[in-house]
Amino acid sequence: MSRQRYIVHADMDAFFAAVEQRDNPNLKNKPVIIGADPKQGKGRGVVSTCSYQARKFGVHSAMPISLAYKKCPKGVFLGVDMDKYKKVSSQVYETFYNFTPKIEPVGIDEAFLDITGSYHLFGSPLETCKLIKSGIKQKA
């Protein structure tokens, strides 16, 4: 008899931009673009990620930074602060481990969590997911 498995895909979309908005309240609800210096539309490099507000202008990850500047010249362009993002990611992963030891990291901002053997400790699978999300908001 096979048992239902519960795998949670934790994808922290726009992670770098969300961390910057969290740390600087002046950036809330602004188009934040993380990546290379746009140098007034002549910069080289790509967008690492961007806030949802920047996506409304057609900006997305891996886009040339010069094109992102042309699409959203009033965006807030910030360099990548990997040390900061790694620290926040570690805090998020600590929260994951409070719910299951079975974690498959995909990257700094993404993981798969197998809650099959632990969700009953927290209620239903849905309730477990809500608690994970709440724990991340409290810690990170």
Could you list the active site residues?
110
**Cα gap 55→58, rounded to integer Å:** 5
Hey, what amino acid is at 1? M
CB count, 10 Å around CB of 121?
10
Cα angle, residue 54 at apex, residues 107 and 16 outer, rounded to 5°: 25
**Cα gap 10→17, rounded to integer Å:** 17
